[in-house]
């Protein structure tokens, strides 16, 4: 890339790397303290945990931060062979503790500490040092660590309690808002999507299940304003990113006759705000040119909506940021070209707008077309005293033989399932099938198994669908 | 002997020449598949090197590649038919990967660079060496991936129809951290291969500097 430098004299920016680091920590501090309140103090007040448990969120964040600091120090000392002053200098100027801090903030609190440590080590070594250290990495190191942990140990985290703390287990139920939204057929409605967690105000103030750092939207917005005023982050990216998601979900919502709550729910739930403010604006892995930043942010929004509605994972922020990280060089090259005519800006913008509208219409149509009957459910065989049915679960269809007598389910026999063993074990351990049979006239009230939400929901839906069919 | 060691160490197809990576990444999710694939490639490699070195005098430069591809694909087809007839279970295990040996660049690469220039004995030995090198790397990859990703070592499972023994070793780390699912997936293959490459070239590079 060609850099145009102008002749001096230059004004020195007061933002040195150390200063930037300090501002970031100041902005993150309220978020960490809030998590301490929500996951520690509240639990302690309700006698759900001891003093260690109360301070656990702080310990959790500290372990992540400290691990990444130590890992980078050791790596620079042993592999890069820097000693004494060099070592101190390079550690000082490389944000060495930030990846670990972010890893601990984007993972749920129920992650066991060894796994958190692995995540922080992977973030530093694979995500950052192997690319050549600070300033050379293509991908956001913290997200690399997080992705590694979630793909390898997702089931371990889930069986350890998943995204909910003990207090929420009593009051709310078993899943994060986005997972819950993901489980609903079609677009759902306010009562189904938001009501179980209180109302949208709870979403704003962060009393909902989620990872350590992502829940409290209002503090993240305050942090955004602070960081922009201090000129630490690029203001365009978060603003455009979030408003793209807002506009797109507004279109999707209004196509399905849902009100303003739907886009609001979409931007306040999950890691969208946190990712937009802290992850997408990472100084190394985001574009530096103006046009590049604008396109980057638009694409992030489009990808997030697409991933949230079209993939098997409920959350799309992490994957979309990592995906767009790959295109940063290209976007910067586009942005750094001299603009000879207005068309050079209009054409990319036109393409982006078409994409935006196209994806919104696509997703919106998907929900319009999904009628009340469940597309994941199939009746294979139907006899007087039994059904053979299949319902798509986490790993593919679950096949079952359901014995009936006088319009009552008497026995459920699972013939075939491809669920992940750890998840499926949770379902069988809790005698979930027996619970379903016992409560078959009141299936909507039966809770799903925490940690194995998708598998247990599939079983539940299977029963509901069979019931419906019998009533016909 | 020198030729064979050369094939395993100095001109190791996967770790030094970076050939045949596709199959090395795709089928190494367990130990058994790895060594079976390695043996099949070795057999094809030896045969193709033998035939190519015999006829190389009569082949002009212009039609070299088509002719050699023809020879290799004939050999693979023969192997496929033989396996299907006599060891059907093995044929089923190998599935799509067997026909893919045709386009495995190791075989064509050795035919072009060695067999068409050297005499018969050297070509065959080279085929054996390179084939062994490929097999060893695949076995190591398969071993690491299976132990970390599945906590087992499958030595005989699919081929137990032939040997009438089933040997699957179980390893238990007694830890929440194992098995690491990513090693079952293609991403794990890339990570393992990259680490192996780095380690191998680190050790080899050290030796080279000393000899210079």
Alpha-carbon distance of A31 to B187, in angstroms, equals 33
Out of A115, A148, A151, the one facing B177 most closely (by C-beta) is A115
pLDDT value of residue B210: 46
As a whole number of Å, the end-to-end CA separation of chain A is 68
Alpha-carbon distance of A42 to A165, in angstroms, equals 10
Rg (Cα) of chain B, in Å, rounded?
18
Residues B144-181: pLDDT tens digits? 998 888 888 888 877 776 777 788 888 877 777 777 87
Residues A71 and A98 sit within 8 Å (Cβ to Cβ): no
Task: Say which residue, A459 or A7, is predicted with more confidence.
Answer: A459
Would you call B9 an interface residue with chain A, using a CB distance cutoff of 8 Å? no
Domain boundaries of chain A, sorted by first residue: 15-172+209-213, 173-202+233-371, 377-471
Cβ–Cβ of A153/B187 closer than 8 Å? no
Residue A405 phi, psi (nearest 5): -150, 125
Across residues A253-270, what is the average pLDDT? Answer: 86
**Between A and B, how many CB-CB pairs are < 8 A?**
21
Lowest mean pLDDT among A300-314, A349-363, A399-413, B8-22: A399-413
Closest CA to A269 of A224, A322, A317, A235: A317
CATH number of A377-471: 3.90.1010
Task: Say which residue, A245 or B161, is predicted with more confidence.
Answer: A245
Out of B176, B177, B181, the one facing A151 most closely (by C-beta) is B181
Query: Two tokens at A197?
Result: 């967690």
pLDDT value of residue A321: 93
Cβ–Cβ of B187/A151 closer than 8 Å? yes
Out of A148, A151, A156, the one facing B176 most closely (by C-beta) is A156
pLDDT value of residue A392: 76
Cβ–Cβ of A153/B177 closer than 8 Å? yes
Task: Say which residue, A8 or A213, is predicted with more confidence.
Answer: A213
Q: pTM of this prediction?
A: 0.78
pLDDT value of residue A237: 92
Would you call B180 an interface residue with chain A, using a CB distance cutoff of 8 Å? yes
Angle CA A152–A171–A151, to nearest 5? 5
Q: In this model, does residue B42 exceed pLDDT 60?
A: yes
ipTM over 0.90: no
Q: In this model, does residue A373 exceed pLDDT 60?
A: no
Cβ–Cβ of B177/A151 closer than 8 Å? no
Residues A295-323: pLDDT tens digits? 999 999 999 999 988 877 778 899 999 99
Q: In this model, does residue A340 exceed pLDDT 60?
A: yes
pLDDT value of residue B211: 44
Closest chain A CA to residue B183: A152
Interface test with B, best of A146, A152, A156, A159 (most B CBs within 10 A): A152
Task: Say which residue, B19 or A16, is predicted with more confidence.
Answer: B19
Task: Say which residue, A37 or A8, is predicted with more confidence.
Answer: A37
Confidence of residue B207 (pLDDT cuts 50, 70, 90): low
**Best-predicted range by mean pLDDT among A5-14, A358-367, A391-400?**
A358-367
Confidence of residue A174 (pLDDT cuts 50, 70, 90): low
Long-range contacts of A171-174 (CB under 8 A, 24+ apart): A172/A196, A172/A197, A172/A208, A172/A209, A173/A447, A173/A448, A173/A450, A174/A447, A174/A448, A174/A449, A174/A450, A174/A451, A174/A453
Task: Say which residue, A450 or A53, is predicted with more confidence.
Answer: A53
pLDDT value of residue A8: 65
pLDDT value of residue B212: 38
Closest CA to A293 of A281, A277, A279: A281
pLDDT value of residue A344: 78
Residues B99-114: pLDDT tens digits? 888 878 888 888 888 8
Across residues A391-417, what is the average pLDDT? Answer: 77
Distance from CA of A105 to the nearest CA of B (A): 20
Residues A188-207: pLDDT tens digits? 777 777 877 777 888 888 88
Alpha-carbon distance of B9 to B210, in angstroms, equals 17
Distance from CA of A152 to the nearest CA of B (A): 5
pLDDT value of residue B26: 83
Closest chain A CA to residue B184: A152
Residues B104 and B143 sit within 8 Å (Cβ to Cβ): no
Tell me which residues of chain A, numbers 121 to 160, contact chain B at a CB-CB cutoff of 8 Å. Answer: 148, 151-153, 155-156
pLDDT value of residue A327: 92
Residues B3-23: pLDDT tens digits? 788 888 888 888 888 888 888
pLDDT value of residue A14: 62
């Amino acid at each position: 890339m060609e850099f145009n430098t102008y002749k001096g004299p230059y004004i020195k920016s007061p933002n040195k790397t150390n200063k930037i680091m300090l501002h970031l920590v100041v902005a993150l501090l309220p978020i960490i303290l809030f998590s301490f309140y929500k996951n520690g103090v509240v639990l302690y007040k309700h006698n759900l945990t001891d003093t260690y448990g109360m301070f656990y969120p702080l310990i959790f964040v500290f372990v992540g931060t400290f691990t990444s600091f130590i890992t980078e120090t050791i790596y620079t000392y042993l592999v890069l062979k820097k000693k004494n002053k060099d070592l101190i200098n390079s550690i000082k100027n490389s944000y060495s503790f930030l990846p670990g801090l972010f890893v601990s903030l984007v993972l749920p609190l129920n992650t066991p500490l060894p796994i958190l440590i692995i995540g922080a080590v992977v973030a530093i070594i694979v995500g950052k040092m192997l690319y050549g250290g600070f300033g050379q990495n293509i991908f956001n190191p913290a997200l690399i660590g997080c992705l590694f942990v979630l793909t390898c140990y997702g089931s371990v985290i889930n069986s350890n309690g998943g995204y909910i703390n003990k207090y929420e287990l009593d009051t709310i139920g078993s899943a994060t808002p986005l997972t819950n939204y993901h489980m609903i057929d079609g677009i759902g409605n306010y009562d189904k999507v938001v009501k179980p967690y209180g109302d949208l105000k709870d979403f704003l103030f962060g009393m909902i299940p989620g990872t350590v750092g992502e829940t409290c939207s209002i503090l993240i917005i305050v942090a955004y304003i602070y960081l922009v005023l201090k000129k630490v982050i690029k203001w365009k990216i978060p603003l455009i990113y979030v408003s793209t998601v807002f506009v797109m979900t507004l279109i999707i919502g209004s196509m399905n006759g849902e009100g303003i709550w739907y886009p609001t729910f979409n931007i306040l739930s999950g890691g969208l705000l946190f990712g937009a403010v802290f992850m997408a604006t990472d100084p190394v892995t985001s574009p530096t040119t103006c046009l590049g930043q604008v396109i980057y942010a638009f694409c992030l929004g489009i990808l997030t909506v697409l991933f949230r509605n079209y993939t098997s994972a409920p959350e799309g922020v992490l994957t979309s940021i990592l995906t767009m990280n790959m295109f940063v060089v290209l976007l910067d090259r586009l942005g750094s070209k001299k603009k000879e005519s207005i068309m050079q800006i209009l054409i990319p913008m036109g393409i982006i707008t078409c994409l935006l509208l196209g994806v919104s219409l696509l997703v919106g149509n998907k929900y319009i077309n999904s009628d009340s009957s469940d597309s994941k459910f199939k009746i294979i065989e139907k006899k007087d005293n039994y059904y053979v049915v299949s319902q798509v679960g986490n790993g593919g269809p679950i096949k079952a033989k359901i014995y009936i007598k006088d319009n009552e389910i008497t026995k459920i026999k699972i013939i075939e399932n491809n669920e992940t063993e750890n998840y499926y074990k949770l379902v069988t351990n809790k005698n979930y099938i027996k619970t379903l049979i016992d409560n078959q006239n009141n299936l909507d009230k039966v809770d799903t198994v925490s940690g194995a939400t998708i598998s247990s929901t599939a079983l539940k839906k299977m029963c509901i669908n069979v019931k419906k069919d019998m009533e016909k | 002997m020198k030729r064979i060691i050369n094939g395993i160490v100095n001109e190791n197809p996967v770790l030094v020449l970076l050939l045949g990576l596709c199959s090395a990444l795709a089928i190494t999710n367990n130990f058994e598949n790895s060594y079976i694939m390695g043996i099949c490639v070795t057999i094809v490699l030896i045969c193709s090197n033998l035939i190519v070195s015999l006829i190389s005098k009569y082949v002009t430069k212009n039609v070299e590649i088509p002719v050699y591809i023809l020879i290799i694909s004939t050999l693979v087809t023969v192997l496929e038919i033989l396996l299907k007839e006599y060891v059907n279970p093995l044929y089923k295990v190998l599935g799509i990967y067997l026909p893919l040996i045709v386009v495995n660049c190791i075989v064509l690469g050795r035919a072009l660079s060695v067999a068409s220039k050297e005499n018969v004995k050297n070509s065959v030995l080279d085929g054996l060496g390179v084939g062994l090198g490929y097999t060893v790397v695949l076995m190591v990859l398969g071993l690491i991936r299976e132990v970390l990703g599945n906590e087992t070592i499958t030595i005989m499972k699919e081929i137990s129809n032939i040997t009438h023994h089933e040997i699957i070793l179980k390893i238990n780390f007694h830890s929440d951290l194992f098995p690491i699912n990513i090693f079952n997936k293609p991403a794990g293959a890339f990570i393992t291969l990259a680490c192996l490459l780095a380690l191998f070239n680190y050790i080899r590079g050290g030796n080279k500097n000393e000899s210079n």
